[in-house]
A = this chain, B = another copy of it.
Amino acid sequence: MDTLENFTFDEISIGQTASYSKTISERDIILFAAVSGDVNPVHLDPEFAAGTMFKEQIAHGMWTGAIVSAALALTLPGPGAIYLNQNLSFRAPVKIGDTITVKLTVTEKREDKKYLTLDCNIVNQHDKTVALGTAQVIAPTHKMRIPAPQLPPIAIG
C-alpha cells in the first residue's frame, strides 16, 4: 500500500463495504507484547501454551482489535477518520499463520456530526468468525490521497 486514500462522508453510502487482511506471525506476537507490555506465556512460550486449552500459542485478543482499527484507518473511511467507539466480542483464538480478514460494512450515517457506524466481522482463513463488533468514527469531509509513510526496518533478537 503505497498510497493512502479516503472516502469522505458524502462519498460513503449505507451498505458500503471494505476489507483488510493480515497474516499473523510470531514476530507480530512479539511486537504486540512489546508495545502493550502483555508478556503472558500463552502468547510467547510454545511449551507453556501447549499445556493450555488452546494447545498452542495464540495471538493477543487485542491484536485483532489493532487490525480492525487499521482497516478503518486505511480503507473505510481511511485517512482523516477520527475513532470514537469500538466494541469487540472475541469468539475464537487466532494462531500463528492465521490470516484474518476484517469485513467492514457501513450500517448508519449521521449527517449532522458526520458519524459513521460500521459493522465489523473478523474471520480467519477458514471463514470462521474470530471476533465481531461495531465501530463508530467521524468520517473525513476532505478527500485525501497521500503517500503512505514507510516504516524503518525492525529487527528482533
Listed in ascending order, the chain A residues whose CB lies under 8 Å from chain B are 1, 4, 20, 22, 28, 30-42, 44-45, 48, 60-63, 65-70, 73-74, 79, 83-90, 146, 148-157
Contacts and interface: CB of A to CB of B under 8 A. Distances in A.
22 contacts: A1-B37, A1-B39, A22-B37, A31-B31, A31-B34, A35-B63, A38-B69, A38-B70, A38-B74, A39-B74, A40-B149, A44-B151, A48-B146, A62-B69, A62-B83, A84-B90, A86-B88, A87-B88, A152-B156, A154-B155, A155-B155, A155-B156
Copy count, this protein chain: 2
Contacts of A74: 37-40
B154 A40 contact: no
A35 B31 contact: yes
A63 B42 CA distance: 21
A84 to B, nearest CB: 6
B89 A85 contact: yes
